[in-house]
Amino acid sequence: MRYKKALIIGANGMLGKAFFRVLRTFDIEPLGIAKSGSDYSLDLTNTSALPKIIKESKADIVINCAAIVSLLECERNPVRAAKINSDLVNFIGKACFKYEKKFIHISTDHFYLNDKRKLHTESEDIKLVNQYAKTKRMGELNALRFNDSLIVRTNITGLRGNKFKPTFFEWLYDSVIKKSNISLFTDFYTTTISAEMLAKYSILASNLNVKGLINIASSECISKKEFALLLADNLHINFDWFEEASVKSLKPQRADSLGLNCSKIENILNIKMPTANEVIQDLLKSLKK
């Protein structure tokens, strides 16, 4: 399937910007929706305006990168979290179904507990331990109501370019370079992938008209501490001044074993998902650009 134009909802976030960059390499014209500073300016709680924009954009594919990802914000304002993480998805899905657009919805991996490095398949039982997980799961279910939707479970980091709101990778890179005091979780496991890699594999999957729920992530499940040590190793820095910490000390409660099994997407694309070290090298390459 060949797409000519894509509409990115949440265009000014880390993932939205990554999709903009990657879509151009596929010769797909990107358009964006954001609160300001994009092709279409819209408060995403104003869902009634979305169908008109989706129709008039003449996009072949709509990619939803919008989400409230702060666990604390979701707990403090569950109504707003539900509007963005779940209700918005329903409105996008309806409009895409009505106007025959492909719909990609980016979900989360925040569904698994006490499994350490286990890689979870798309069919594994999930546990909803906070408002973020509850609203994101409802978003998945809303997207799954529409047959042509692709719902991607993932764990991403990348570049935002905003020193006041650094991403995990930007914060970690800066901390290692400057030898800042830092605490690292030894019991929080993820299969983190770079935002640009996630965008690339999502587009490749949509080109093959993949539908339903699918994991796209790194092939390795490692702790945040191990991720940091890999980064330091790539930077040739002897990273020996950090303190160890436990994710269980944080409130609200977090899912802690977020590994994703990517055999399904690997079989579809006939590729191997990147290792943790390959993800870090991709992030460093993007940083140099």
Give CA–CA dist 2/281, Å, rounded.
30
Structural domains in the chain (count): 1
- Which residues, 6 or more positions from 78, have their beta carbon under 8 angstroms from its beta carbon? 131, 135
Helix axes 195-207, 276-288, angle to 10 degrees: 110
Q: Is there a domain that residue 207 lies in?
A: yes
**What is residue 151's predicted lDDT score, i.e. its pLDDT?**
98
Q: What is the 3-state secondary structure (H, E, C) of the chain?
A: CCCCEEEEECCCCHHHHHHHHHHHHCCCEEEEEECCCCCEECCCCCHHHHHHHHHHCCCCEEEECCCCCCHHHHHHCHHHHHHHHHHHHHHHHHHHHHCCCEEEEECCCCCCCCCCCCCECCCCCCCCCCHHHHHHHHHHHHHHCCCCEEEEECCEECCCCCCCCCCHHHHHHHHHHHCCCCEEECCCEECCEEHHHHHHHHHHHHHCCCCEEEECCCCCCEEHHHHHHHHHHHCCCCCCCCEEECHHHCCCCCCCECCECCHHHHHHHCCCCCCHHHHHHHHHHHHHC
Q: Are strands 149-153 and 212-215 parallel, antiparallel or unpaired?
A: parallel
Give exposure, 16-27, as e/b (b: 16+ Cβ within 10 Å): bbbbbbbbeeee
pLDDT in the model for residue 2: 84
Rounded to an integer, what distance in angstroms lies between the CA atom of residue 220 and that of residue 119?
A: 8
74 is a domain residue:
yes
What digits encode the pLDDT tens for the residues 185-223? Answer: 999 999 999 999 999 999 999 999 999 999 999 999 999
Distance CA 200, CA 206 (A): 10
The answer to whether residue 213 is domain-embedded is yes
Q: Does residue 14 form part of some domain?
A: yes
Residues 17-24, mean pLDDT to the nearest whole number: 97
pTM of the model: 0.97
Mean pLDDT of 241-253: 95
pLDDT at 66: 98
The reported pLDDT for the residue numbered 162 is: 87
Q: Tell me whether residue 237 is in a domain.
A: no
pLDDT given for residue 47 in this prediction: 87
CB 30 within 8 A of CB 9: no
Q: Give the pLDDT mean for 80-94.
A: 97
Amino acid present at 214: I
Residue 88 falls within a domain, yes or no? yes
The residue with greater pLDDT, 47 or 284, is 284
The whole-angstrom separation of Cα 193 and Cα 265 is 14
Q: Specify the pLDDT at position 46.
A: 86
> Is 24 part of any domain?
yes
Q: Alpha-carbon distance 71 to 131, whole Å?
A: 7
Q: Give the pLDDT of residue 207.
A: 95
Q: What is the pLDDT of residues 24-73, one digit of tens each?
A: 999 999 999 999 999 999 999 988 899 999 999 999 999 999 999 999 99
What is the domain extent for residue 203?
Answer: 5-161+190-219+260-276
Domain assignment present for residue 225? The answer is: no
Task: Return the pLDDT at 289.
Answer: 80
83-to-44, 80, 145, 289 alpha-carbon distances in Å: 9, 5, 17, 36
Tell whether the model's pLDDT for residue 1 goes beyond 90. Answer: no
- Partners of 156 in the β-ladder: 193
Q: Quote the pLDDT of residue 276.
A: 98
> How does strand 189-190 pair with strand 183-185?
unpaired
CATH number at residue 125: 3.40.50.720
Q: What is the tens place of the pLDDT at every residue in 143-192?
A: 999 999 999 999 999 999 888 999 999 999 999 999 999 999 999 999 99
Tell me the torsion sign for CA atoms 147, 110, 175, 164.
positive
The gap between the terminal CA atoms of the chain, to the nearest Å, is 30
pLDDT single digits (tens) 119-131: 999 999 999 999 9
What confidence tens digit (pLDDT) does each residue in 222-233 have? Answer: 999 999 999 999
